[in-house]
Amino acid sequence: MAHAPEPFGADSRDDNALIEAYRAGESGALEVLANRYFLDLMRFLTRLTGDRNSAEDVFQEAFLQVHLSAESFDATRRFKPWLFTIAANKARDLLRKNARRRTLDLSSPVGGSSGSDEGVTFVDLMEVEVSQPGEEVSGRERDRMVQQAVTDLPVPLREVLLLAYFQKMSYNQIADVLEIPLGTVKSRLHAAVAAFARKWQAVSKGHGR
């Protein structure tokens, strides 16, 4: 089932109100939530799994789990961290199953030179377009290089890096999503940034040869 961004003003209810409506029998409320979080969650999952098709599978599994667990959702919690917790757990399961298979390519095969990346920030590098017809070759190539650097990281570092710099979650939110202590979030993020910097440097040098 394909999803598209929710049109502006299509449904002004907040996430928790939509979950309540779904539990009350409004089946379309879950579709609204799936559309609302499609881009954010797919970008996160694409970077985390390293593969668009895998990300789509995990997205579907995550919302199936939301459907199955809707009745037990704690309405005092925010929906987004709960959703990302489910999605991260589903992605971990998939990565464990595919531990022996490396999938570094994120987009269609590309050629040519990526040019200079001078002035590009870390956050710029973490951005990924889920679907961008007509994207420049240089952008696709850099995206592939970033994905390689991210995929080379251990999964625990990959998760915290994506949540902090891509989803822009706070330490407390990351601790909630990953279900780890706040101190672990801070130390893991520090290690993740350092590791990504090393990986990116290596990938960039290798590409320039």
We report the CATH number of the domain holding residue 173 as 1.10.10.10
Please write the tens of the pLDDT for every residue from 109-127: 322 334 444 444 454 455 4
- Residue 91 burial (CB < 10 Å; 0-12/13-18/19+)? buried
The answer to whether residues 31 and 78 belong to one domain is yes
b (16+ CB within 10 A) / e for 48-74 = bbbbbebbbbbbebbbebbeeeeeebe
Q: Give residue 128's pLDDT band: very low, low, confident or very high (50, 70, 90).
A: very low
Q: Which residue has the higher pLDDT, 173 or 207?
A: 173
Of 69, 101, 133, the position where a domain reaches its end is: 101
Cα–Cα distance, 18 to 208 (Å, whole number): 49
- Is the pTM for the entire model greater than 0.75? no
Indicate which CATH number applies to the domain containing 80: 1.10.1740.10
- Of residues 107 and 173, more confidence is placed in 173
- Are 43 and 115 found together in one domain? no
What range defines the domain where residue 97 resides? Answer: 1-101
Concatenating the DSSP letter of every residue in 86-136 gives HHHHHHHHHHHHTTT------SS---S-----TT--HHHHH---SS-TT--
- Number of compact structural domains in the chain: 2
Same domain? For 109 and 195 the reply is yes
- Please, which pLDDT band fits residue 36 given cuts at 50, 70 and 90? very high
Residues 113 and 18 in one domain: no
Residues 48 and 138 grouped into a single domain: no
